[in-house]
Amino acid sequence: MSKVVIVTDSTADLPEDIVTELGIGIVPLRVHFGDQEEYLDWQELKPEQFYEKLASTHIMPHTSQPSPQDFVNLYKKVANPEDDIISIHISSQLSGTIQSASMARNLLPEYNIEVVDSKMTSMALGVCIIEAARAARAGKDKKEIMELINYYILNTRVYFAVDTLEYLHKNGRIGKAKALIGGLLKVKPILSLDDEGSIYPVEQVRGRKKAIDKIISIAEQNAPRKDKIIGCVLHATLPEEALIVKEKAEAVFQFQDLYFCSIGSVIGSHVGPGLLGFVCSPAKE
């Protein structure tokens, strides 16, 4: 029997047990330290290894998208020509990954491949992937799963505070937050992704404690409801502060699912250490 197979890329920062449980296909991006060191995101470089390495070097890491052949290899591994592949990826405003996926689709005309620009990344993308994979596992057809995906693309929000804009700026991913560069001593910019998948500034606060409060406050103000929420607390090297984010979120929202995740090495290359974030989406009823 034919089936629907969900594929994404490593920037979704999905918990590895969920990837295994739901049979999600992952194409890794690459992280480079200079010209000599190259690692596959999450496969060869786990978050804790990445941040340790980042702290011990003066080299600013950079990243690269998968090749079309990387996608061809995975598509052939996870699906047969009679199956439907839905390949959902990091915002095209942040990476050329979706271009490689589209090229791979053209190289496999015998396969049924739908390539989707999520206009998101990290676990904002991850929430969409998990719900799509659960629907596929439950036997939903491609049309039903695409409706679900489009719902989560429209309704998932992410808010995050970074310690510095240096990484976003030097890696060319700063988007509309560029206006904030310069003189932000102890100021924590709170950022989000707009409807096109670009980074934009939401607000600025002084200090991490105020940033945590503001992240949850903004999420509350923008959420269409407070019950049956799918959420995720994100962090880069700040597990204790992330637990505070989790506690404050649980005081405001009633969660259907709440994940607690580390930022992987590709996204970490662009945001640096010291990120705290919160993903919020009303579950589709």
| Amino acid (one-letter) located at 279 | V
> Both 216 and 255 in a single domain?
yes
58 part of a folded domain: no
pLDDT band, residue 188 (cuts 50/70/90): confident
pLDDT in tens, 194-222: 999 998 989 888 888 999 999 999 999 99
pLDDT at 262: 96
> Both 192 and 260 in a single domain?
yes
CATH of residue 203's domain is 3.30.1180.10
Q: What number is the average pLDDT over the span 240-257?
A: 98
pLDDT band, residue 186 (cuts 50/70/90): low
pLDDT band, residue 177 (cuts 50/70/90): very low
> Both 122 and 179 in a single domain?
no
Round to whole Å and give the CA distance between 130 and 128: 6
pLDDT at 206: 85
pLDDT band, residue 179 (cuts 50/70/90): very low
pLDDT at 174: 46
pLDDT in tens, 99-128: 999 999 999 999 999 999 999 999 999 999
Could you tell me which of 13, 30, 62 has the C-alpha nearest to residue 275?
13
Tell me the CA distances in angstroms from 191 to 31, 41, 194, 262, one per residue in order.
Answer: 23, 23, 10, 18
Domain count across the chain: 2
What the block records as the tokens of 105 is: 């689709």
> Both 231 and 186 in a single domain?
yes
> Both 100 and 173 in a single domain?
no
- Give the domain range for residue 134: 4-29+65-154
Q: Specify the length of the chain in residues.
A: 285
pLDDT band, residue 181 (cuts 50/70/90): very low
Q: What is the DSSP string of 17-70?
A: HHHHHHT-EEE--EEEETTTEEEEBTTTB-HHHHHHHHHT--PPPEEEPPPHHH
Q: Which of 135, 154, 173 is the last residue of a domain?
A: 154
For all residues of the chain together, what is the average pLDDT? 92
- Is the pLDDT score of 278 beyond 90? yes
CATH of residue 12's domain is 3.40.50.10170
- Is the pLDDT score of 173 beyond 90? no
> Both 218 and 185 in a single domain?
yes
- Is the pLDDT score of 180 beyond 80? no
DSSP type of residue 141:
-
